[in-house]
C-alpha cells in the first residue's frame, strides 16, 4: 500500500514538472511567433534608388538591422533560458532545441543587388525563427505525450487504490 502511494506521489511530481515545462515552452513559442511576425514586417520596405548609397537610406537600413537583431536577441534569451531548464529535465529533448542566429553587421548599400541581398537576409532570419518555433512545437508535442502518460498512470493508481 505504501509502495503504491510512493509511486503515485512520484508520478504526480513528474506530471507537475512536465506541465511546468509545457507552460514554459508555450510562452517561448508565443514569443517566437511574435518575433517572426515582427522580423517579417521589417523585410518589407522600399528599395528606391533615392534611398541607396546615401545617409538616409543607410540610416533606414541600419535601423531595420538593429530592430531585427533586438527581436532576435530577445528570442535567443528566451530559448536559452528554456534550454537551460530543459537540460535539467531531459537532455534528449534539450538536444532538439534550435537557436536562431542574428543578422550580420550592416554595411553600406550602393546597388540594387546589395539591397536585394539585405532584404533576403532579413527574410532568411524570419525562416530561422520559424525553424526554431517548429523545434519548440516538437518539444511541446513530446512533453504533452509524457503528460498524458503520467495522467494515465495516476488514474490507474487511483483505480487500484479504490479496489
For residue 45, give the DSSP letter.
-
pLDDT tens track for 136-151: 999 999 999 999 999 9
Domain boundaries, the chain: 3-162
pLDDT tens track for 32-82: 999 999 888 877 765 555 566 666 777 778 888 888 999 999 999 999 999
The pLDDT score that the predictor gives to residue 47 is: 56
Is residue 109 within 8 A of residue 49, CB to CB? The reply is: no
Integer Cα distance of 55 and 59 in angstroms: 6
Centre a 10 Å sphere on the Cβ of residue 88 and count the other Cβ atoms it contains. Answer: 10
Q: Cell 500500500 maps to which residue?
A: 1
What is the distance in angstroms between the CA of the first residue and the CA of the last residue of the chain? Answer: 11
Q: Is the pLDDT of residue 5 over 70?
A: yes
Integer Cα distance of 154 and 44 in angstroms: 51
Centre a 10 Å sphere on the Cβ of residue 6 and count the other Cβ atoms it contains. Answer: 10
- 98: cell is 534550435
Integer Cα distance of 61 and 108 in angstroms: 9
Amino acid at each position: 500500500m505504501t509502495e503504491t502511494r510512493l509511486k503515485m506521489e512520484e508520478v504526480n511530481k513528474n506530471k507537475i514538472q512536465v506541465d511546468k515545462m509545457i507552460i514554459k515552452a508555450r510562452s517561448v513559442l508565443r514569443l517566437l511567433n511574435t518575433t517572426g511576425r515582427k522580423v517579417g514586417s521589417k523585410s518589407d520596405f522600399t528599395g528606391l534608388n533615392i534611398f541607396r548609397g546615401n545617409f538616409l537610406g543607410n540610416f533606414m537600413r541600419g535601423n531595420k538591422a538593429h530592430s531585427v537583431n533586438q527581436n532576435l536577441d530577445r528570442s535567443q534569451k528566451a530559448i536559452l533560458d528554456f534550454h537551460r531548464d530543459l537540460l535539467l529535465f531531459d537532455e534528449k529533448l534539450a538536444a532538439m532545441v534550435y537557436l536562431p542566429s542574428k543578422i550580420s553587421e550592416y554595411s553600406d548599400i550602393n546597388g540594387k543587388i546589395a539591397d536585394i541581398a539585405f532584404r533576403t537576409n532579413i527574410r532568411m532570419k524570419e525562416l530561422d525563427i520559424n525553424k526554431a518555433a517548429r523545434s519548440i512545437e516538437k518539444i511541446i508535442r513530446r512533453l504533452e505525450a509524457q503528460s498524458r502518460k503520467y495522467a494515465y498512470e495516476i488514474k490507474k493508481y487511483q483505480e487500484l487504490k479504490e479496489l
